């Protein structure tokens, strides 16, 4: 018997497959947004639930994160990415995960977003950029995940600095402070 989470994931994959095959720079349906940023396609799927931020603000958050990754690597590491937003009863940007779906040939990022989060929370958040950075690094065995986390943690603030989201002083000050 299929679980609700598995059925939900399968629905996202079906919608994503249909939407990503169409060509357009940006289009919207009731719960999805499709964008093309620097040659890469993004499908943003928002699950049911209330959010304080608009779809345009969520899309800007996705675009800002993608541009930070491109500023670090030179291009986005995968051609297609699904970003699934799950509204939660909280504030701020919550937990997120990322993976590469080999069978579908796309990155998949799942992010919890607090219903009380505002645009300032999105602007300050490093979470989506960090998860997108993971898409450039192969999935490794559990005992080697420190390397994938280390690269994403190091690269994320540099990419955000290169797009003007962080100052040099913030990036290098935080690095020096946290090396202890």
pLDDT tens digits, 66-120: 999 999 999 999 999 999 999 999 999 999 999 998 888 999 999 999 999 999 9
- Name the nearest CA neighbour of 101 among 34, 4, 17: 17
pLDDT tens digits, 68-83: 999 999 999 999 999 9
Contact 28, 42 (CB under 8 A): no
Contact 123, 149 (CB under 8 A): no
CA 163 to chain centre: 16
Phi, psi at 161, each rounded to 5°? -65, -45
Which residues does 33 contact at the CB level (< 8 Å), separation at least 6?
A: 26, 27, 43, 44, 55, 58, 59
pLDDT in the model for residue 140: 84
Which residues does 121 contact at the CB level (< 8 Å), separation at least 6?
A: 91, 92, 93, 114
Which of 11-20, 138-147, 154-163 is predicted most confidently? Answer: 154-163
- Name the nearest CA neighbour of 59 among 36, 88, 41, 33: 33
Rounded to whole angstroms, the Cα distance separating 13 from 108 reads 10
pLDDT in the model for residue 1: 52
**CATH class of the 4-178 domain in this structure:** mainly alpha
- DSSP states of 1-36 as a string? ---HHHHHHHHHHHHHHHHHHS--SEEE-SSEEEEE
- Per DSSP bridges, beta strands 93-101 and 26-28 are unpaired
Terminal-residue alpha carbon distance, the chain: 50
What is the pLDDT confidence band of residue 8, given thresholds at 50, 70 and 90? low
């Amino acid at each position: 018997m299929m679980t609700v989470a598995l059925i939900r994931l399968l629905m996202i994959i079906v919608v994503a497959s249909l939407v990503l095959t169409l060509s357009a720079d940006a289009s919207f349906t009731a719960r999805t947004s499709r964008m093309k940023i620097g040659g890469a396609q993004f499908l943003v799927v928002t699950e049911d639930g209330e959010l304080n931020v608009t779809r345009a603000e969520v899309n800007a958050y996705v675009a800002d994160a993608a541009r930070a990754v491109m500023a670090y690597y030179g291009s986005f590491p995968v051609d297609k990415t699904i970003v699934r937003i799950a509204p939660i009863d909280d504030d701020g940007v919550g937990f997120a995960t990322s993976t590469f779906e080999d069978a579908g040939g796309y990155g998949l990022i799942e992010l919890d977003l607090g219903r009380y989060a505002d645009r300032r929370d999105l602007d300050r958040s490093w979470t989506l950029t960090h998860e997108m950075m993971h898409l450039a690094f192969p999935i490794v065995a559990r005992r080697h995940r420190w390397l994938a986390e280390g690269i994403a943690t190091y690269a994320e603030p540099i990419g955000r600095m290169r797009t003007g989201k962080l100052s040099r002083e913030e990036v290098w000050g935080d690095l020096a402070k946290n090396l202890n």
